[in-house]
C-alpha cells in the first residue's frame, strides 16, 4: 500500500452519495448515529458502515459519550476541503450535468449499450 493507494482510499471516502449526505448533516455540529440516520434516508446498519468508512479514511472522528457516539468532521482542513469541492464544482456543474444528458462519457452511468457485434475472443 503506497501513498497513491492511501490517497485513493481517502478520496473514495468522499465519492459516495450517502457519505456526502452524512458529511453534510454533520458539517455544522457533531451528531449521533441515530440523529444522522434520521436526517438522511437510510437504515442504521448502512449508516454505521459508512461512518466506519469515513473514520477509516480520516474524514471524520468519533467521540463516545455514554451510549451515544458523536461523529464530527475531523478538522478544519476537511471542512475547507468540503467547501472547496463546491467552489471548484461551481465552474463546471453545467458541463458535468450536460455530459450526463448527452453521451459524451459513460462514467457514472448504468445504462447498457449494445450497438454492434464483435467477434468472440478466441480461446
Partner DNA sequence: CAAACATATTAGTTTGGACTAATATTTCAA
Partner DNA sequence: TTGAAATATTAGTCCAAACTAATATGTTTG
- Asked if residue 78 binds its own copies (CB under 8 A), the reply is yes
Distance in angstroms (rounded) separating the CA atoms of residues 59 and 107: 25
Residue in 24, 46, 89, 98 binding DNA, rule: CB under 7 A: 46
Residue labelled with grid coordinates 472522528: 61
Q: Applying CB under 8 A, which of residues 31, 77, 118, 121 lies at the interface with its own copies?
A: 77
Torsional class of 11: left (φ above 0), alpha (ψ -120 to 50), beta (otherwise): alpha
96 binds its own copies (CB under 8 A): yes
- Cβ at position 75, least distance to DNA in Å: 19
Instruction: Write out the three cell numbers for 114.
Output: 449494445
12 binds its own copies (CB under 8 A): yes
Give the nearest distance from C-beta 3 to DNA in angstroms.
16
Q: How many chain residues touch its own copies (CB under 8 A)?
A: 49
Q: Which stretch binds DNA (CB under 7 A): 42-50, 80-88, 92-100?
A: 42-50
Closest among 57, 52, 94 to 71, alpha carbons compared: 52
User: Count of CB atoms within 10 A of residue 73's CB?
Assistant: 20
Question: Whose Cβ is closer to its own copies: residue 15's or residue 112's?
Answer: 15
The angle that helices 44-56 and 17-25 make with each other, rounded to 10 degrees, is: 80
State the minimum distance, in angstroms, from the CB of residue 84 to DNA.
21
Amino acid at each position: 500500500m503506497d501513498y497513491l493507494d492511501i490517497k485513493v482510499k481517502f478520496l473514495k471516502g468522499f465519492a459516495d452519495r450517502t457519505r456526502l449526505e452524512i458529511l453534510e448533516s454533520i458539517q455544522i455540529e457533531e451528531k449521533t448515529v441515530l440523529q444522522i440516520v434520521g436526517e438522511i434516508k437510510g437504515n442504521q446498519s448502512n449508516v454505521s458502515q459508512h461512518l466506519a468508512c469515513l473514520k477509516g479514511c480520516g474524514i471524520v472522528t468519533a467521540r463516545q459519550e455514554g451510549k451515544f457516539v458523536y461523529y464530527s468532521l475531523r478538522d478544519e482542513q476537511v471542512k475547507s476541503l468540503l467547501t472547496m469541492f463546491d467552489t471548484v464544482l461551481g465552474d463546471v456543474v453545467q458541463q458535468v450535468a450536460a455530459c450526463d444528458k448527452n453521451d459524451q462519457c459513460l462514467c457514472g452511468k448504468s445504462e447498457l449499450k449494445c450497438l454492434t457485434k464483435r467477434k468472440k475472443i478466441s480461446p
